[in-house]
């Protein structure tokens, strides 16, 4: 992957990073390069940043793909684009970095999500933040722990805005996810880890489709290399197998828990899920 302007932007981003001994997190690099590309275009500069949309926003190629060592960023990029271009690009790099320093990775990520191809990406991000806040091993995005009702609303919002008209082949994945995560939510004891696993596996199925179709200046082969997968469909099928395994384990536990799961509340929740899915398909058929 030889793109001199992108290589230069990548080098400058690390070169202008203020904090010696502390490299930029990989997650931040993805988002900052995307914002740098957008601001450069506004200034009439073509940086030609390759990227694609995936599970947690935009993804750009790694340093190994473009021949840049972040720990030795002061060197010249291969295929140098000239001192004039670099002089124009450097202040843009500084402005983007200052936005990152003065806010947070979360806020920078939110800024990139304003350009997300589908509303469901922003909606799912809200649900993911709520589930991470519930989980002990993830950061808290909310000061007050999200309630069961709040999570249920976010689950339905994702279900409601999912672009099934654009991706009809993912419709069965959507309804399976909705059924599984809602049942996990309505267990007598909420299991944040269980909900997150179901949520992430489903989202990866959609995100693989997203990466395949919403890529900028990258071939499908290059995207697969970055994701370290052999095929998009093979990776999606792997996620589906994981979901089937989770569902199988949940059903086995349901019939082997001495009635703890089979309560009036869980039966009502199951009926609600079934009714929502039926109504969805009825609406789709009219």
The rounded distance, in Å, linking the Cα atoms of 231 and 160 is 29
- Does the structure show a pLDDT above 90 at 38? yes
| Chain segment 262-274, per-residue pLDDT in tens | 666 556 555 656 5
User: What does the domain layout of the chain look like in residue ranges?
Assistant: 4-112, 117-285
The rounded distance, in Å, linking the Cα atoms of 269 and 180 is 11
- Does the structure show a pLDDT above 90 at 205? yes
- Does the structure show a pLDDT above 70 at 280? no
pLDDT at 154: 96
The rounded distance, in Å, linking the Cα atoms of 203 and 239 is 9
| Chain segment 118-172, per-residue pLDDT in tens | 999 999 999 999 999 888 766 667 777 888 899 999 999 999 999 999 999 999 9
Lowest average pLDDT, out of 101-110, 194-203, 232-241, 266-275, goes to 266-275
| pLDDT-based confidence at residue 284 (cuts at 50, 70, 90) | low
If you average pLDDT over every residue of the chain, what do you get? 85
Percentage of the chain lying above the pLDDT 90 cut:
58
The pLDDT of 181-190, averaged and rounded, is: 86
| Chain segment 98-119, per-residue pLDDT in tens | 999 999 999 999 999 999 999 9
pLDDT at 1: 47
pLDDT at 223: 96
């Amino acid at each position: 992957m030889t793109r001199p302007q992108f290589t230069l932007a990548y080098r400058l981003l690390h070169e202008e990073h203020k904090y010696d001994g502390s490299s930029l997190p990989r997650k931040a690099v993805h988002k900052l390069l995307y914002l740098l590309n957008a601001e450069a275009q506004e200034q009439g500069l073509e940086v030609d940043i390759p990227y694609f949309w995936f599970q947690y926003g935009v993804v750009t190629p790694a340093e190994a793909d473009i021949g840049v060592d972040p720990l030795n960023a002061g060197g010249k990029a291969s295929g140098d684009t000239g001192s004039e271009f670099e002089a124009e690009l450097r202040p843009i790099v500084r402005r983007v970095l200052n936005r990152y320093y003065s806010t947070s990775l979360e806020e920078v990520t939110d800024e990139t999500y304003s350009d997300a191809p589908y509303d469901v990406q922003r909606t799912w991000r809200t649900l993911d933040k709520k589930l991470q806040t519930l989980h002990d091993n993830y950061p808290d995005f909310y000061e007050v722990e999200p309630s069961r009702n709040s999570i249920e609303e976010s689950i339905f919002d994702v279900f409601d805005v999912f672009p099934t008209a654009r991706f009809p082949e993912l419709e069965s994945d959507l309804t399976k996810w909705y059924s599984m995560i809602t049942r996990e939510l309505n267990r007598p004891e909420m299991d944040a880890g269980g909900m997150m696993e179901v949520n992430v596996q489903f989202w990866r199925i959609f995100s693989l489709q997203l990466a395949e179709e919403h890529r900028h200046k990258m071939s499908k082969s290059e995207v697969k290399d970055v994701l370290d997968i052999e095929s998009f469909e093979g990776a999606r099928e792997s996620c589906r197998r994981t979901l089937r395994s989770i569902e199988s384990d949940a059903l086995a536990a349901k019939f082997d828990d001495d009635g703890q799961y089979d309560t009036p509340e869980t039966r009502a929740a199951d009926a609600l899920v079934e009714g929502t899915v039926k109504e969805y398909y009825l609406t789709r058929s009219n």
